[in-house]
Amino acid sequence: MTYEECVQECLRCMEQCNRCFDDCLKEDDVKMMADCIRLDRECADMCAFAAKAMQSNSPFVKEICALCAKICRACGDECAKHEHHQHCKDCADACYRCAEACEQMAK
């Protein structure tokens, strides 16, 4: 796992979370998606923070990636409950890939 690969996973995950946030807010059953909306925001912002840390050579890359992995996994688990929505399925996939990449980076 190189920095560059992990950055790319973070940026993909950020994108899917932001799209899922938007799509969840347009669903008929918004109430069911409340936890998803909350985690999408947090995960998108955490991924942006982790990407910035790696790109700017932060001394805290390992700790930041460890936290990012936890938040990605939680967001993936929530999205995976709603896989009948394509945006949640896509988001769960991106979250799990990013979680794995960040876990590698955190070692």
Q: Report if residue 5 touches a copy of itself, rule: CB under 8 A.
A: no
Q: Report if residue 81 touches a copy of itself, rule: CB under 8 A.
A: no
| CA atoms within 13 Å, Cβ hemisphere of 47 | 31
Query: Minimum Å distance from CB 31 to a copy of itself?
Result: 4
What is the rounded distance in angstroms from the CA atom of residue 104 to the CA atom of residue 84? 30
Between residue 49 and residue 78, which ones bind a copy of itself under the rule CB under 8 A? 49, 51-53, 55-60, 63-64, 67, 70-71, 74
Which DSSP string corresponds to 28-94?
Answer: TTGGGGHHHHHHHHHHHHHHHHHHHHHHTT-TTHHHHHHHHHHHHHHHHHHHHTTTTSHHHHHHHHH
Q: Report if residue 80 touches a copy of itself, rule: CB under 8 A.
A: no
Which positions touch a copy of itself (CB under 8 A)?
Answer: 7, 11, 14-15, 18-19, 21-22, 25-26, 28, 30-31, 33-34, 37-39, 41-42, 44-46, 48-49, 51-53, 55-60, 63-64, 67, 70-71, 74
